[in-house]
Amino acid sequence: MPSRDTLQAFADTVEANDHVGAIMRFYASDASTRENDNPPLVGRDKLAEKERKVLASVASVKTTRLGALLLDGDQSAIRWRFEFTGKDGSSRVMEEVAWQTWRGEEVIEERFFYDPASIKKTAAIPAAAAGAKP
């Protein structure tokens, strides 16, 4: 079971947008993640590589924790909001709940719950429309 301090340190790391660092620091080597009902991805190195690819595909991401950290024994839940800015200037917003199972001080399993239809993409705002001078 993780300590409350460990869970807080994990959340702080993610909220600081150090997503890969959070995986490498807090996940067990044999950890798995699963998005909704998709098959799990197993292995910390694979999880970190997938996260690197996601982050490389966008210009930036802003991560915000929504609400309290929930912890009960080896189970925790965190509600997140991610705001992705694409390399083309467009943006996407996504909210999810991450349900985690811990083995000691390490995440062994994590499942993400979100509505794929709620991920909204907005077009980039042209500089002229945003009030910028040509």
CB 78 within 8 A of CB 69: yes
How far is Cα 16 from Cα 40, in angstroms, rounded to an integer?
Answer: 25
Residue 16 above 70 pLDDT? yes
> What integer pLDDT is reported at residue 78 of this predicted model?
98
Question: φ, ψ for residue 99 (rounded to 5)?
Answer: -105, 120
Tokens of 32: 């798995």
Report the pLDDT value the prediction gives residue 92, as an integer from 0 to 100.
92
Count CA within 13 A, CB hemisphere, residue 111: 9
Residue with more model confidence, 126 or 64? 64
The string of pLDDT tens digits covering residues 95-116 is 999 999 999 999 999 999 999 8
Span 59-70, mean pLDDT? 97
Domains of the chain: 4-122 (3.10.450.50)
CB neighbour list of residue 97: distance below 8 Å, 6 or more residues apart: 77, 78, 79, 80, 112, 113, 114
